[in-house]
Amino acid sequence: MGSSNQHLGPDCEHAPSRPARTASDQGGARPEGGKLPAIQALRAVAALSVAVVHLFSGFAVHIDRRLDGLPQGDQLAQAAVALFFVISGCVMVLSSGRLFSSAGATVHFWRRRAVRVLPPYWIATGVMAAVMLALGLAVDTGYLARSLAFVPTPRAGGRSFQLFLWPGWTLLYELIFYALFGAFVGFGRTRAVILTALAIGALVVAGALANPSGLPGFIVTRPILLLFIVGMVAGLALQRGLASPAWVRALAMVAALAAFALPQPADSQLGVGYLGWAGLPAILTFVTVMGGPLRIPFIALWEALGDASYAIYLIHVPFALVWMRIFHHGLDHPGGSLGYMASGVPLLIALSLAFYRWIERPMTMRLNVLLGGQSSRKSGPIGDLAP
């Protein structure tokens, strides 16, 4: 999932100090200094949505049958993934200000994105393998090696794919977007958005016309990539100080809730049907939150959870495996599946906050310095907001 400077993020790992915000400018319409609380909140909600759905539908239901009959949350999890992609498109436009039209912008952008995304993913994948071995589960070393290199393994039929750390499939699309956006970042902000959108559009059209049978061609032409265009356009609007009227945002909120009643499409392979089922509620949610000023309570909490959103996304599966073993066997599962969820989610958040603070953040800062990037303390104004 992931995703999202965040995943779910670019060039700006830690923003300079900033003046305190008033309640009126905590929302999405004013990307001045520091991290945007509204984006941080969206990142946190998206990551936690994916994690909670996976903990519930993939693990807790096996402890006892108390959760049988409840909705499995597939649409919620997929909408959260779609929201990560919209956020990434937006944040790349907002956070790359110092790179647009600068010399060496492409290499600089690609290097920082690689530093931000890849090492935490590699660590989490290694943790997943170690957990499986410790629990007596088999580990396919070839599958593991391919996943570390982001070489997807086809599932039955060859039209879908997976990685060893299975939420990591979303990072393939993040990397495709970063490759395209980075190629054009030196042309300036607006031109980079236009050229990246044209490249994504060309890929999707080529996929529709050619219907590639090979897995690589299938992956890079999926309509899910169009969500990054939505995010980039939103980033341009935010950068220019544009905002939606309150009635538009209220209508978007109602429509987002209604969109969660859409049936799952027969075409679930990240195609046009997927965009309506998962992408539409994500886009409407983004408009609701980021379309203008918004009072956001507990800003410090949301910023902390937003910082940890990539860690939440990456480590929730290996955590779930360990906690299921401890809770289900070692603790004799007090409270059953409900107890598993009630205890597991806070523990996951605590571990993710620790992972971000003690591993992810210092590692990213150090690698940026070692590889020739500026110290993250001198980074741009939007903060560490993606993947």
Residue 34 predicted with pLDDT over 90 = no
CB 89 within 8 A of CB 231: yes
Q: Any idea which residue has 């992931």 for tokens?
A: 2
- pLDDT range class, residue 163, cuts 50, 70, 90: very high
Per-residue pLDDT averaged across 329-350, rounded? 92
Mean of the pLDDT values across residues 143-168?
89
Contacts 24+ apart (CB under 8 A), 61-69: 61/337, 62/324, 62/328, 63/324, 63/327, 63/328, 63/333, 63/336, 63/337, 63/340, 64/333, 64/336, 64/337, 65/337, 66/336, 66/337, 66/338, 67/337, 67/338
Q: Which long-range contacts (CB under 8 A, 24 or more apart) does 180-186 make?
A: 181/92, 181/109, 181/228, 181/232, 182/105, 182/106, 182/109, 182/110, 182/113, 183/106, 185/96, 185/99, 185/100, 185/105, 185/106, 185/109, 186/99, 186/100, 186/101, 186/102, 186/103, 186/104, 186/105, 186/106
Digit-coded pLDDT (tens) for 101-117: 899 999 999 999 999 99
How confident is the model at residue 29, as a pLDDT?
A: 45
Q: Does the structure show a pLDDT above 90 at 121? A: yes
The whole-model pTM stands at: 0.90
194-228 pLDDT tens trace: 999 999 999 999 999 999 988 999 999 999 999 99
With a cut of 80, say whether residue 144 has pLDDT above it. yes
| pLDDT for residue 182 is more than 80 | yes
- For 310-336, what is each residue's pLDDT tens digit? 999 999 999 999 999 999 888 888 889
